[in-house]
């Protein structure tokens, strides 16, 4: 049964990857947009509030975390389009593992997210940023970023199944923006009003950004947040992964 589910999921993943060949412009835009954000905040806005030392050391790990929270609309729109075109109904009428369509979609998204991280890290290196934590810590930081993305992705898939229509995705996607900007990705909580700083410190993305800074060896980075950067995404996955699969299983019933 496990082999059967993996085979079906890989088939659906290849289906999603085939879309990249048909829509290369969209793939390029998804890779370039985070770079534009990095350059905008680093050079046009810059100067992060409450940040001591070189702002790039603080900004780039934060932007990596911020990027993992954004860009979910591509997956959400793809899911809702398949719903409205009857594609998912046809898949569900086949002898296919329940949820393989969603797993395939998430696998393709994770591959694109890994590519995005590679591009951003490369741009950061070109701007003079360096990770000082060693190769194991570097891989640990990348792992935390992808774990956070995986959790956010399944929240997005569940919301897409609830929304049901592509035109509703934009309204749902707006909910992601507070998660991203009410964090310490761009500025320290200490530089904010007390109540807002408290909200920012409890934001799961803030824990990921802080843990990543620590693992990258960012000067002055707080330690002790790695456990929270693992627990929060796993807790979100424990809630939204089964919700999404259950919602998918109840379609057209």
Tell me: the pLDDT tens digits for 5-57?
667 666 667 776 676 677 677 777 777 878 887 887 776 666 555 566 678 88
| pLDDT above 60: residue 4 | no
| pLDDT above 90: residue 210 | yes
| E-strand stretches of 85-161 | none
**For the chain, percent of residues with pLDDT exceeding 70:** 81
Among 82-86, 136-140, 209-213, which is the least confidently predicted range?
A: 82-86
Among 55-64, 82-91, 141-150, 155-164, which is the least confidently predicted range?
A: 82-91
Average the pLDDT over 164-191 and give the result.
76
| pLDDT above 90: residue 229 | yes
Cβ(212)–Cβ(145) below 8 Å: yes
pLDDT of residue 40: 76
pTM of the model: 0.86
Q: Which residue has the tokens 């060896």?
A: 217
| pLDDT above 90: residue 239 | yes
Among 5-9, 195-199, 216-220, 242-246, which is the least confidently predicted range?
A: 5-9
Distance from C-alpha of 176 to C-alpha of 160, rounded to nearest angstrom:
13
Q: How confident is the model at residue 214 (pLDDT cuts 50, 70, 90)?
A: very high
With CA atoms as reference, report the closest residue to 172 among 145, 152, 150, 198. Answer: 152
Among 42-56, 71-85, 188-202, which is the least confidently predicted range?
A: 42-56
Mean pLDDT for the chain overall:
81
193-213 core/surface letters (b: 16 or more CB in 10 A; e: else) = eeeebebbeebbbbbbbbbbb
Cβ(113)–Cβ(20) below 8 Å: no
| pLDDT above 80: residue 63 | yes
Average the pLDDT over 184-201 and give the result.
82
């Amino acid at each position: 049964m496990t082999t059967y589910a993996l085979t079906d999921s890989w088939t659906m993943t290849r289906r999603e990857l085939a879309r990249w060949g048909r829509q290369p412009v969209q793939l390029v835009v998804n890779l370039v947009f985070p770079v534009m954000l990095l350059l905008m905040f680093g050079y046009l806005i810059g100067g992060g509030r409450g940040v001591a030392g070189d702002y790039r050391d603080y900004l780039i790990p934060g932007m990596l975390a911020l990027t993992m929270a954004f860009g979910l609309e591509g997956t959400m729109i793809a899911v809702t389009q398949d719903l409205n075109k009857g594609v998912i109904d046809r898949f569900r009428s086949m002898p296919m593992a329940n949820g393989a369509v969603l797993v395939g979609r998430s696998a393709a998204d994770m591959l694109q997210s890994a590519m995005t991280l590679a591009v951003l890290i490369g741009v950061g290196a070109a701007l003079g940023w360096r990770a000082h934590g060693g190769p194991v810590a570097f891989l640990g930081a990348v792992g935390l970023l992808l774990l956070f993305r995986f959790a956010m992705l399944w929240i997005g898939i569940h919301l897409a199944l609830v929304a049901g229509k592509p035109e509703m995705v934009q309204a749902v996607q707006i909910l992601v923006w507070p998660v991203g900007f009410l964090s310490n990705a761009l500025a320290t909580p200490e530089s904010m009003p007390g109540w807002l700083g408290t909200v920012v410190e409890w934001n799961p993305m803030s824990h990921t950004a802080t843990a990543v800074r620590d693992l990258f060896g960012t000067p002055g980075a707080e330690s002790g947040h790695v456990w929270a950067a693992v627990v929060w995404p796993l807790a979100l996955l424990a809630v939204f992964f089964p919700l999404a699969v259950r919602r998918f299983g109840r379609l057209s019933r």
